[in-house]
Structure 1
């Protein structure tokens, strides 16, 4: 399974173990997307910021709170999944590809990558 997709109309899953949620073939992306959908209900202002193209700081690497000296950075696919959920979008992530977005608030360019080594030890700018 390299392309993870779920329609926004899909009901949230229930009764799954931690291993099923985080260690399955989707690598936890479905759970991150479900959390994003839930947060959109509880924090409509955050959802609006995401819909406006912002990449706010969330629980995963990828968000930006201000412009940095370097104009580009890497983020993880779990951030992208949660962001899609916050925006009320279908989950649509290819585990083999990078995806680049530009934050509408800071103009920072973030490349979401399946390559953990690219975002784990980034130099702070």
Structure 2
């Protein structure tokens, strides 16, 4: 069953919500991560350009890559994917029940963004 979280890029950022409403609602915090990405794109245009060039830079959630690793693939958080979409100025479009693989244009690393935290939780943390 599809559990798709979608928001249009022209929707204003939300205000006045509680921590619970932001992080524990049906979207599991993805809308907030996307909104953070939108805000960071304004403050850090060079970071936004890297994302638009299909790079997967290190952000606050698991999924970014700073260098190629011996194993050319890893798992990342859907929260990273949401922030990345916001940084790119894209609509938020994530299905909570599906994995999505992207390849970093700079490192060639393949990152599979997954709703299964156990896949990325115990991975070796990458140094930023």
Cα distance in 2 for partners of 1:49, 1:62 equals 15
Cα distance in 2 for partners of 1:122, 1:81 equals 20
Unaligned segments of structure 2, at least 5 residues: none
Aligned residue number for residue 122 of structure 1: 123
Moved beyond 2 Å, runs of 4+: none
The TM-score with structure 1 as length reference comes to 0.97
Unaligned segments of structure 1, at least 5 residues: none
Q: Tell me the CA shift for residue 122 of structure 1.
A: 1.5
Measured on the aligned residues, the alpha-carbon RMSD in Å equals 1.2
Aligned residue number for residue 65 of structure 2: 64
Q: What is the 5 A alignment of 1:107-118?
A: 107-118=108-119
Aligned residue number for residue 104 of structure 1: 105
The TM-score with structure 2 as length reference comes to 0.95
Aligned residue number for residue 17 of structure 1: 18
Aligned residue number for residue 42 of structure 1: 43
Residue 94 (structure 2) pairs with residue 93 (structure 1) = yes
Cα distance in 1 for partners of 2:111, 2:14 equals 29
